[in-house]
């Protein structure tokens, strides 16, 4: 038997053993309960942290992110207003450069 064949067989047996172990762990109700309690405890800890930060009037990371998004949106809108204002200033300047229309040059129809 070659080394490659032996290592391939060993790998296959190892993968099979790991698969069986994982399945046995998933089938174990105690492990399921323990995982459920651990995730629940983590969520309760996060909620307690949010409450504590709120009581201290300290923003959370999501609060800061939301504020950043609103600031970016406001900045974009302000930039659009500035662009339109620049266009209007250019239009007014162009109108001022045009000579006034005299009454004698108007055509009646």
How far apart are alpha carbons 97 and 43 in whole angstroms? 68
SS3 2: coil
Residue bearing tokens 């651990």: 38
Query: Mind listing the pLDDT tens digit for each residue in 11-20?
Result: 888 899 989 8
Domain segments of the chain as ranges: 1-58, 59-97
Quick check: 31 pLDDT over 60?
yes
What pLDDT was estimated at residue 73?
A: 97
Question: Is the confidence at residue 7, as pLDDT, over 80?
Answer: no
pLDDT of residue 32: 80
Phi–psi pair at 57, nearest 5 degrees: 60, 40
Q: Give residues with Cβ within 8 angstroms of 53, minimum separation 6.
A: 59, 60
Categorize the per-residue pLDDT at 53 as very low, low, confident or very high, splitting at 50, 70 and 90: confident
Residue 21 has pLDDT above 80, yes or no: yes
């Amino acid at each position: 038997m070659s080394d490659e064949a032996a290592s391939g067989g060993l790998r296959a047996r190892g993968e099979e053993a790991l698969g069986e172990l994982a399945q046995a762990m998933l089938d174990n109700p105690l492990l399921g309960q323990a995982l459920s309690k651990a995730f629940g405890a983590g969520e309760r800890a996060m909620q307690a942290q949010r409450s504590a930060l709120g009581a201290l009037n300290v923003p959370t990371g999501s609060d800061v992110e939301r504020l950043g998004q609103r600031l970016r949106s406001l900045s974009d809108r302000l930039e659009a207003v500035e662009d339109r204002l620049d266009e209007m200033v250019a239009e007014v300047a162009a109108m001022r450069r045009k000579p006034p229309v005299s009454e004698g040059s108007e055509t009646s129809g």
